Amino acid sequence: MAKNKILSYLVYLSTSALLLFSACTQEQVVNVNPVCFEKDVLPIFISNCTQSGCHNSIDREEGIELTSYASIVSNGVAPGDYAASKLYQVLIAVGEEVMPQKPYNKLSAEQITTIALWIDQGAKNTTCASTGNCDVSKVTYAKTVKPIMDRSCNGCHAGSAPSGNINLSNYTRVKKYALNGSLFGSINHDAGFVRMPDGASKLPSCEISSVKEWIRLGALNN
């Protein structure tokens, strides 16, 4: 797809990252912080592309798996050139070519831009592990749990046809699974629970600890 067709994806990634697409054939990435594969990119693919029957390690729809760094970069990623990357092209396509396909939602402009930035920065396998302790002293639903759900769960468990008929799109729905033990059991890969994210590695340990602490405190709507 020609680069001049990407004008609609002018978005702010953060206050310090701005991706500028011009109407010509050039674009610039200005003042961009490094995009972390493990923290920023992998959750997008896990949550939106690995539903049952799709690109998980079991179903591998059309022979494509998108559950790890190796499997993602081997499926149409041209490091340093997002516009030439087939993986990027299907995210901005229309009709039958777009991925994810219905009934699942198309990725947001911010998610697509995150992937574009990651590719332009070399599509590196960065983990961005924190050098400090995992602080769970100020966990809340709005600032801690909901972003985890949005980033890693709601590609499958939201919308009109949530996977397994489990919807985690708002507080009331998340609370139900938090209080019956299935939310933590699934993300912690405990025996007797369906492991989530499906067909992929566990969430980062700090995210799991944060959800656990939020539940311990009563799963409040805070």
Examine the domain organization and report whether 45 and 75 are in the same domain.
yes
Tokens of 95: 């009709």
Q: What confidence score (pLDDT) does residue 122 get?
A: 96
Q: What confidence score (pLDDT) does residue 67 get?
A: 82
Examine the domain organization and report whether 11 and 69 are in the same domain.
yes
Examine the domain organization and report whether 94 and 173 are in the same domain.
no
Q: What confidence score (pLDDT) does residue 28 get?
A: 45
Examine the domain organization and report whether 116 and 206 are in the same domain.
no
Q: What confidence score (pLDDT) does residue 102 get?
A: 77
Q: What confidence score (pLDDT) does residue 19 get?
A: 41
Q: What confidence score (pLDDT) does residue 18 get?
A: 40
Eight-class DSSP state of 27? E
Examine the domain organization and report whether 110 and 13 are in the same domain.
yes
Examine the domain organization and report whether 147 and 69 are in the same domain.
no
- Does an H or E element contain 17, and which? strand 17-21
Other CB atoms within 10 A of residue 38 CB:
15
Q: What confidence score (pLDDT) does residue 29 get?
A: 46
Whether 128 maps to a domain, the answer reads no
Order of strands, edge to edge, in the sheet holding 11-14? 11-14, 17-21, 27-30
Question: Which positions of the chain have pLDDT values less than 70?
Answer: 1-32, 52, 58-59, 129-132, 199-200
Helices within the chain (DSSP H only): 42-49, 69-73, 86-92, 109-120, 146-152, 171-179, 182-187, 205-216
Whether 126 maps to a domain, the answer reads no
The total domain count for the chain is 2
Question: Distance (Å, rounded) from C-alpha 144 to C-alpha 189?
Answer: 20
Q: Which domain does 162 fall in, by range?
A: 141-216
Whether 127 maps to a domain, the answer reads no
Q: What confidence score (pLDDT) does residue 120 get?
A: 95
Examine the domain organization and report whether 17 and 107 are in the same domain.
yes
Examine the domain organization and report whether 13 and 105 are in the same domain.
yes
Whether 195 maps to a domain, the answer reads yes
Examine the domain organization and report whether 19 and 63 are in the same domain.
yes
Whether 130 maps to a domain, the answer reads no
